[in-house]
Amino acid sequence: MIWTLILREILTTLMTFRFFVTVITCMSLVIAGTIVLTDNYERRLASYNADFQTHQEKTFIAHTYSSFKADIDRAPNPLSVFNQGLDKRAKNSIRIRIGKVPYLWDKVYQYQSTGLKNPFRHLLADIDLVSIFQILLSLLALVFAYDAIAGARENGTLRLTLSNPVGRGVVILGKYVGAIVCLSLPLLISFLFALLLQLQSSAIQYTADDLFRIGGILLTTIVYISTFYLIGLLISSMIHRPATSLIVSMFIWVVLILLYPNVSLFLVNRFIDTEEKIEQTNREIEQISERFYRDIQKLRDPFESPSLLKDSISSGGSRGYLHLSKNFTYIPDESEPNIPTVKAYFQDLTSLHIRAAETIWRARKNAFAETYIRKSRIARNALRFSPTGLYHLSTEAWAGTDLFRMEHFFKTGRQYRQRVLDYFHDKKAFSSRQWFASDKGEVRWNDAPRFVYNPPDVFEDASSRALPDLFLLFLLNLVLFMATFMIFSRLEV
C-alpha cells in the first residue's frame, strides 16, 4: 500500500504546473549562476597563476640571506562555485618576513593578509549555487507542502484515502517520500547541468576529493529541502484552510531565510564587545615594540662609524639599523678587520627581530581567541538554531571555504616561516658574511625549503565540521516528522 501511495503522490505532483515551474526556475537560475561563477573563478585562477609565477621567480633570487623575501600563494578553491564562503574575499598570498608572523586579521598590511575584519559577518553574504538552493528550493518545498494535508482535507481526498485499510503514518510517509522524490528531480538535473558546465572549463579539474565534497553538498541540500517540506507539512496538518496554511508558510520562510540569520549575526556583533580587548592588546604590542627599540639602541650600530665599512658599496636594502636587508657587493680590504663586528651586530639584531615578532604574535593569538574567534564561534552557534544556518555551515565546510580553511592557510604559512628560520639556523646564516654581503659569492638557494600548500582532505573537514551540522539538520527532520505524525494522527477528517 505504501508504494501505491508514493507512486500516486509522485505522478500527481509531476503533472502539476508547480512542478513544471520548479524545474524551469531551478535550471534557469542554476545554469545562469554557474556560468557567472565559473567565469569569476577562471579570472581569479588566472590572477593566482600570474602572481604565483611572479613570486616563484622573485623568491630565490636574493644575493644575501637578509634579502630573502617570499610570497606564498593559495590557489582559489574550485568548489567556491558551490559555496563561496570566504574564499573569494580572502587574498591568496602571504608575505613571509623574518621580523613578522603572518596572521589572518591584519588590517594594516593588506599585502600580508586577507584584510578581513570580523569575517563571520559575511557568512551569508555572497550569492552562489548553495545560496540559490537555499532560497529557491526552500520556498518551493513549502509551496509543495502547504496544501498536502489541508488541501486534501478540504477537497475530500484525505477522507477517501483514510476510508481504505491504511494507517495514518503510512499516508504521511507516502506524501513525504513522494514529495521529496519530486523535489529532488529538479535539484539533481540542475546539479548535473552545473557540473557539466563547470567541466567544460579548462580551469576546473575536479579530484576524487572534490567529488566527495560535491556529493556531501548534494546530500546536505536534499536533507535541507526535506526540512522545509516537513515544516510546510506540519503547518498544513495544523491549519484547516490551504490559503491560511500558505500565508503562515510564507511567514515562516521569511523568518527562517531572511530575518533570523541576519538578525542573529547583527545581535552578536552588536552586543559582544571586543574593542576593549583589542585596545588592550594594541597597548601590549606597543610596549613590546618599545622594549624592542630600546634593545636595538643598546647594540653598537656599525654603520654609525663611517670608517667601519669604508667605501663599501651597498646595493639593495637600507642602511637604517632597523632594516635587516643588506647586500654589500664590495668591501675594501681595509674594512676586513671590522667584519666580525658587523657579523655580531646582525646576529644580535636578527635575534631581537625574531624574538619581538614571536612575542607580538603570542599576544595577538590570545587576543584573536578572545575576540574574533570567540565572536565567530558564537555567531555560528546562533546560526545553528535555523535550518538555513545549518545548511550554510555544513556546505561551507564541505566546500572548504570556511574560516577554518582560511586560518589553516595562514597556519601553514607560519609553519613555512619557521622552516625558513630553521634553515637559516642550520646554515648559521645569521652570523655569516653572506647575511649582509655578496662580495665573496652569492647565496645558493638549491636546498632552501619550498612552500607547498596541502589543504585538509574531505574526511578531516567532514568529520570535524560538515557532518555535525548535517546530523543536526537530519535530527531536525526527525523531530518535524514525529510532530507532524502526532498531529495528523489526532486530526478529524
Please state, as a whole number, how many other Cβ atoms lie within 10 Å of the Cβ of residue 73.
19
Q: Which residue has the cell 579570472?
A: 43
Alpha-helix residue ranges (DSSP H) falling in 239-338: 242-253, 260-271, 275-298
In terms of Cα–Cα distance, which of 345, 358, 360 is closest to 290? 360
Residue 15, pLDDT score: 86
Residue 316, pLDDT score: 44
Residue 176 CB contacts under 8 Å (≥ 6 apart), including other chains: 226, 229, 230, 233, 481
Supply 460's cell numbers: 578531516
- How far is the C-alpha of 124 from the C-alpha of 447, rounded, in Å? 44
- How far is the C-alpha of 291 from the C-alpha of 219, rounded, in Å? 55
The H-or-E segment that residue 70 falls in is strand 70-73
DSSP state of 169: H
The tally of CA atoms less than 13 A away on the side-chain side of residue 354 is 17
Supply 119's cell numbers: 569575517
In terms of residue numbers, what domain contains 259?
Answer: 1-493
Domain count, the chain: 1
Distance, C-alpha 178 to centroid of its chain: 35
- How far is the C-alpha of 441 from the C-alpha of 71, rounded, in Å? 25
Q: What burial class does residue 294 get, using C-beta atoms within 10 Å of its C-beta: 0-12 exposed, 13-18 middle, 19+ buried? A: exposed
Q: CB–CB of 178/6 below 8 Å? A: yes
Q: CB–CB of 443/65 below 8 Å? A: yes
Residue 304, pLDDT score: 62
- The tens digit of pLDDT for each residue in 76-133 reads 999 999 998 888 877 778 888 888 898 887 653 333 334 344 444 444 446 889 999 9
Supply 182's cell numbers: 519530486
- How far is the C-alpha of 222 from the C-alpha of 213, rounded, in Å? 14
The SS3 of residue 368 is helix
- How far is the C-alpha of 262 from the C-alpha of 268, rounded, in Å? 10
DSSP state of 1: -
Helices 138-145 and 242-253, packing angle to 10 deg:
160
Q: CB–CB of 130/392 below 8 Å? A: yes
The SS3 of residue 96 is strand
Residue 264 CB contacts under 8 Å (≥ 6 apart), including other chains: 379, 382, 383, 385, 386, 389
Alpha-helix residue ranges (DSSP H) falling in 129-241: 129-132, 138-145, 150-155, 157-162, 168-199, 208-238
The SS3 of residue 86 is coil
Residue 135, pLDDT score: 92
Q: CB–CB of 380/56 below 8 Å? A: no
Q: CB–CB of 430/347 below 8 Å? A: yes
Low-confidence ranges of the chain (pLDDT < 70): 1, 106-126, 303-324, 493
Residue 143, pLDDT score: 93
- The tens digit of pLDDT for each residue in 370-405 reads 888 888 889 899 999 999 999 999 999 999 998 888
